[in-house]
Every structure is written in C-alpha cells, then in structure tokens.
Chains A and B, each alone.
Chain A
Amino acid sequence: MDYLIDIVLLGLLMITGFAIVRMRSLLAVAMLTSIYSLLSASLFVALDAVDVALTEAAIGAGISTILMLATIALTSDEEKAPRHTPLLPLIVVTATGAALIYGTLDMPHHGDPDAPVHHHVAPTYLHDTPGEIGVPNVVTSVLASYRGYDTLGEVTVILTAGAGVLALLGYRTRRLNSRGPGNRQLVVLRVIAKLFFPLILLFALYVLFHGDYGPGGGFQAGVIFATGFILYALAFGLGNAQRVIPHRLLRIMAAVGVLIYAGVGIESMLLGGKFLEYRVLADDPVTGQHLGIMLIELGVGITVTAVVLIIYYGFVSRLHARDI
C-alpha cells in the first residue's frame, strides 16, 4: 500500500516532465520546473531521504527558480517553434532509453535489503557512527567526517561557480535605485518581509546547528540564510539590500568559508593528526569530532550564503542596468 504514494508522485512527475517539453511559454516552463523539483523533494521524503529532500526543496524549488525567472526577464519569454522535425533526436532518445531499461533488468528489486549496495561500506558507517562520532544523523557524519575530503572539494566547486558568475555577469552599481513600484503598492510586502526576515535567519541557524540531530547541515542552512536576504532585496530593492550586505563583504565571506574548512584540516595536521582528522582537535576524540563537524558546517554555510547572494546580485544588477 505504501507503493501507492510512489506511483502517484512518479505519475505527476511524468506529466510535469512532458508538459515542460511541450510548452512554449518560458515563464510557464520555469514554474513547471519548480513544481517538478518540489514533487521530487516529496518523493525523496517518501523514500526516507530526508536530508536530500530538504536540500532539493531549498535549492531546486527555491534558488533555481529565481535564477530562471531572472534569466527570462533578461532574455526572452517565448520559444520559437523548432525548424526541423525532431526525428533523429526521437530515435536517439528511444535507443538510449531502451538500452538503459535493458540495463536495469539485472538490478535487484526496489527496496531489497540484500542488494549489494547495502553490504560493503554503509553498514560500517551505520555501526561506527554512534561510537566514533556520537552524532545521530548518519548522513551528516558521513558527509562531514568520513567523507570530509569530498565535501571540501564540493565547497570549492561552489566557490568556483560564484567566481564564474562574477566573471560573466559582474556587478553594476549604477542606477540601482532608479525605478520600480512605489512605496504605497509595496507596503504589505515590506511589512511582511520585515516581520519574517529575522525569523528566516534564525531558522537557518537552527538548521545549521541542528543538522547533527535531524535533517539539516551547512548547505541547506546557507541556502535558507541567503533566501532571507533575497526576500529583503525583492521587497526593498537592490540598493537597500546592498546597504544591508554589501558586495565587498560577500566576496570576502565566500573565501572565508573555504578558508575555515581548509583551516580546520591544517589545524588538525598541526596538532599531530592527518589532514581533516578531527580526533586530535580536543582531548576527547568524540568532542574533537563534534568540534570539527561544527566548524566545517559553519564554513560551508558561510560560503554557500555568499555565493548564492553573489549570483543573485549579478543577475539582478544586470536587470537594473539594462532598464527594461
């Protein structure tokens, strides 16, 4: 009976996917993509992946939709009909799909506890986490401690993306307060934005520090923190948002996050352990693990916040500079 919700969600995902291919109005396609991402976040919850669901909802349904809307405002919002009939792409897609389905015939059944993927490293992580790290959320312990090196690389990828958008779009500061709806129209939105802005930031800090005990962690917290500032920028204009959190500070913050992360690694080397070995950071190995995880999650949160805001500032300042 619990397959019913899987079937319904997957069916809705298929309908949304087909609608995205067929529709020509790009605004509708952006909204459908946000719906697709939210449906897959619900599917992740139904498949017991709560951390992943939180991240997908925050990043896919939140930030990606804002970026797509900003791009549509900067370019065009209608798609022209394709010039040639799509026969060759259809053949390629069908052949690839058939090959993939043939490949899955060998796979173990969905949910099979004897599948090979559940037998090698994963039981070790589940078994050793309470003793060695003392953190209930196994996903956080694997992400931050057992596979901390991969997460360092991922934070660097985010920093590179921020640097890339900075190089491509830059940040124009002229005419930031030029036009837009007046004070009277925005009064409800401004009051609600002011009311919820501190609550959103507080919730982001909660997600950051509670990531050891429930779903959460640095990436989700960074995105939620940035969303608070994006709400403020939407309600009060980019000029006021620049006064609240200037672009200079964002560039410094993005680098400081990665510096904290790598700094924890070097500190553990200076204290006698290996790179990113948190055991040596305190007298008790478990306390050392807790301290290490907290510091690197903080570094990750700072970098993700700064990079998301740099990307947002880049897109919106170009909108203002073009005076559409």
Chain B
Amino acid sequence: MPELLGHYNYWIVIVLMMTGFYTVIARPNLIKKVIGLFIFQTSVFIFFISMAKVDGGTAPIIEAGISVYSNPLPHVLILTAIVVSLATTALGLALVVRIREAYGTINEDDIHVQDEAD
C-alpha cells in the first residue's frame, strides 16, 4: 500500500503520456497529431515537476525562517522546455496550414493517397 501511495502520481502521468502518444500515432488529422504532441509534452513536464517536490518544502524562493525548499533545478529545465514547446507547436501548426494549401486536406490518409497517385 505505501508502494501504491508513493508512486500513483507517476503512474497517472504515464497514463496521460500514453494518451498523447496514442493521439499522435492513431488519429489521421494533422491538427489532432500536433495537439497530441502538446499533451505528451505537458505530461512530461508534470512528471519532472513531481520529481522535484520535497515533502514539507515550499517554493524555491529564499525567505527567512524557511529551511526546506523544493528542488529548483527541474523547474529551470521545465521552464526552458515549455518555451520550446511553444516554438514547436507554432512551427507544427504553420506547417499544417501550408500542407492544407498544397494538398487541400489535412487528413493523413487522403494526403497519402494523393502522394501515391503522383
């Protein structure tokens, strides 16, 4: 039982990651794929931040009288990763717009048919 309580946080986050992963590989719509990637990235952030938490600690802003802080290093890494996720989402969506203008559809199956017909 203590095993379960200690790890449930990570397991739920893995379920979220797999939801995003499934959306990327199983749904044919390109916008859905980009959104699935966004969900995957956000759940990885939750995983890292769950690792950084210390029981009884508080936010890593130094204040007199507090001695236990949460680990600030994963926070810095995830801050970088969030901004990079914005960059990749913007580029992915711009690519989707151009694909729609080139092929007339954003369904992966129809694009495949058009590519093979050439």
A binds B: yes
User: Which of A's residues lie within 8 Å of B, judged by CB?
Assistant: 3, 6-7, 10-11, 13-14, 17-18, 20-21, 26, 29-30, 33, 36-37, 40, 43-44, 47-52, 55-56, 59-60, 63-64, 67-68, 70-72, 74-76, 79-80, 82-83, 86, 89-90, 92-94, 96-97, 100-101, 104-105, 107-113, 115, 117-118, 121-122, 125-126, 129-130, 136-139, 142-143, 147, 150-151, 154, 157-158, 160-161, 164-165, 168-169, 213-215, 217, 219, 304, 308, 311, 314-315, 318
Majority secondary structure of chain A interface residues (helix, strand, loop or mixed): helix
CA distance A169 to B100 in the complex (A): 12
- Is A139's CB under 8 angstroms from B83's CB? no
Please tell me which one of the listed residues A48, A108, A215 contacts residue B58 in the complex, with CB atoms under 8 A apart. Answer: A48
A77 to B, closest residue via Cβ: B31
Nearest A residue to B68, CB-CB: A113
Q: Is the CB of A29 within 8 A of B35?
A: yes
Q: Which residues of B contact A142 (CB under 8 A)?
A: 72-73, 76
- The smallest C-beta distance from B19 to any residue of chain A, in angstroms, reads 4
Residues of B within 8 A of A308 (CB): 86
The distance from the CB of B97 to the nearest CB of chain A, in whole angstroms, is 5
Minimum CB–CB distance for B104 against chain A, Å: 10
Q: How close is A16's CB to chain B, nearest CB, in angstroms?
A: 9
CB distance from B109 to the nearest CB of A (A): 5
Let me know if A117 and B74 touch, CB within 8 A. Answer: yes
B61 within 8 A of A: yes
Interface string of B35-56 (1 = CB under 8 A from A): 1101100110110011111111
In the assembled complex, the Cα of A49 lies from the Cα of B9 at a distance in Å of 16
In the docked arrangement, what's the CA distance between A206 and B59, Å? 20
Which residue of chain B has the shortest Cβ distance to A11 in the bound complex? Answer: B12
B94 at the interface (CB under 8 A from A): yes
Asked if residues B54 and A49 are in contact (CB atoms below 8 Å), the reply is: no
- How distant is the Cα of A208 from the Cα of B117 in the complex, in angstroms? 54
Decide: A48 and B45 in contact? CB cutoff 8 A: no
Q: Do B50 and A100 have beta carbons less than 8 Å apart?
A: no
A36 / chain B contacts, CB cutoff of 8 Å: 39, 42
* Residue with the greatest number of chain A CB neighbours at <10 A, chosen from B16, B20, B94: B94
| Residue in B18, B56, B79 whose beta carbon sits within 8 Å of that of A143 in the complex | B79
Cβ contact within 8 Å between A96 and B21: yes
Please state if B14 and A154 are interface contacts (CB–CB under 8 Å).
no
Residues of chain A contacted by B28 (CB below 8 angstroms) = 79-80, 82-83
Do the beta carbons of A115 and B51 come within 8 Å of each other? yes
Question: How close is A235's CB to chain B, nearest CB, in angstroms?
Answer: 23
